[in-house]
Structure 1
Amino acid sequence: MELVITDNAAEAGVLAGRIMADHVRRGARAIGLATGSSPLGAYRELIRQYRDEGLSFAGVQAYLLDEYIGLPVGHPQSYRQFIRDEFTSHVDFDDASVHSPDGNATDIPAAAAEYERGIAKNGPVSVQILGIGANGHIGFNEPGSSLRSRTRVKTLTPKTRADNARFFEDDLSQVPTHVLTQGLGTISDADHLLMVATGSGKADAVAAAVEGPVSAFCPASILQMHPHVTVIVDPEAAAKLQAVEYYRFAVANKPSWQSF
């Protein structure tokens, strides 16, 4: 695991976008996309490179981490719509190449299994961008999730629903209780995991994920078991880490041949 502390949140997003762009330029068959505020800076950098530097997503498949169950297609808070609004509609991604779990399927378990088959067929996912919840969740794998889980239904914690109410006019009753999410095992199949966390509200979760024990209580701690992980944080999100000086030293002394 490599931990990079940037000077600010904007730099974190730019670096994450550059890492994702490198994978695309090297011929990635598929990339993994996440929603929420954490990856927005990366998406802005990818859009910039598409417009200014000729970066193309033609032929690339994209797989979303999760989707609410029961929101109608096109709902402004559905994650498929979020990704389209914030990223894929601004570049040359074909809509048919952007895949999300089907939260409106008649048979939800069957839809989860079909999503797994799609990733296996079109993958591997070259790089998966991730955020982290204040309780340590990645995707919607809440504390207590199996470390080897696959795409499945999850029940959101009251805290997660409350945190997300701001996207639903601060009306908790509008926030779905259930989601379809890639499991921790599914996420771990990606070649490169790229987690972005900014702000003091993520400091405890980052410390638990990076320096704490590997535990289902902090789902993001599964990153410690992966062979290629980059964690990008701003100083506020790094505030609870114990080995800050070492992380800074390691990045400053990276071998010239070693990429992120």
Structure 2
Amino acid sequence: MTLRIPAAPYAVQVETDEDAVAEAVAPRLLEALGESRPLGLATGRTMEPVYAALRRRIAGLPGLERQVLLAQWRSFNLDEYVGLGPEHPGSFSATMALALGEPLDLVPGRLQLPDGQADDPEAEAHRYGTAVAAAGGIGLQLLGLGSNGHVGFNEPPCGAQAPCRCLELSDATRLQNAAAFGGDPQAVPPRAITLGTAEILAADRVLLVVTGGAKAEMLRRALLEPPSVEVPASWLQGHPRLTVMADAAAASALPLS
């Protein structure tokens, strides 16, 4: 069901639950993979059913079509923890390898992420942002929503033109991500490299995916309150091709009509 927020230039597509959301998102990702500009990917619990649905879609393609799609795969992930490499199970490199790289037998390097083990994280952030620009920027950027309003690892306060950079993670974010580190927020690395709001807003299209009632109030703030550095996701209101997909629980605080 696609509903409109009064006076908003974008619609919110509301599905019954996270699995229905994932099934609605997957064909959009599949279509974007066939385009000339690379796909922007995200991690986090919200994306687990999304990538499972995408795998099923790809598995259902005719053999030659599937081979061509996988051979031309180009994607950039939003972020990576500083200090973690692909051998660490908590790294986003490992997460993406398990979610897509290994099941789809992608050629190494097709799933591009920042190098969390780079000697100079600031220089690596600059290199990664430059690589995204050199690829023509992102076609479709997939996003989740952090409990404190972050997108990528763009922690508040954050303006609309923050570049790809290395930054400190908030206590709220480390708590939110603790499950991947044995439930201990202190085990979550304190720093990360992230594409900035500048790169996100430069994408041709943005797809914000939000599930669960715990995100309902933050989604309301992100979409309905005036854009603010305190809610980085609120800058998405200014993107001309924003699509929001949410389950009923996440959309429960929106005045949909």
TM-score in terms of structure 1 length: 0.89
Q: Does 1:189 align with 2:202?
A: yes
Q: Does 1:144 align with 2:157?
A: yes
Q: Does 1:19 align with 2:32?
A: no
Q: Quick one: which of 49, 54, 58 aligns to 1:50? A: 58
Q: Does 1:33 align with 2:66?
A: no
Contact 1:17 1:41 in 2 (8 A): no
Paired residue type of 2:42: A
Paired residue type of 2:60: D
Distance 2:210 2:41 in 1: 15
- Deviations, residues 56-80 of structure 1 (Å, cap 9, x unaligned): 2322211010000112331001001
**What SS does structure 2 have at the residue aligned with 1:236?**
coil
Question: Offset at 1:92?
Answer: 4.8
Distance 1:73 1:91 in 2: 17
Distance 1:114 1:174 in 2: 27
Contact 2:147 2:172 in 1 (8 A): no
Q: Quick one: which of 13, 23, 39 aligns to 1:4? A: 13
- Give the direction of change, closer, same or farther, for the CA distance of 1:123–1:57 in structure 2 (3 Å limit): farther
- Deviations, residues 138-188 of structure 1 (Å, cap 9, x unaligned): 001111012101110111111111121221112233111111111001111
Contact 2:147 2:176 in 1 (8 A): no
Moved more, 2-11 or 231-240: 2-11
Equivalence for 1:207: 220
Q: Does 1:122 align with 2:135?
A: yes
Moved more, 56-65 or 220-229: 56-65
Moved more, 233-242 or 165-174: 165-174
Equivalence for 2:73: 60
Identity of aligned residues (%): 33
Question: Offset at 1:36?
Answer: 0.4
**What SS does structure 1 have at the residue aligned with 2:106?**
coil
In the alignment, structure 2 segments of 5+ residues that lack a partner are 1-9
Moved more, 16-25 or 88-97: 88-97
User: Deviation above 4 Å: which 4+ runs of structure 1?
Assistant: none
TM-score in terms of structure 2 length: 0.90
Question: Offset at 1:21?
Answer: 1.1
Contact 1:12 1:233 in 2 (8 A): yes
Let me know the Cα RMSD of the aligned residues: 1.4
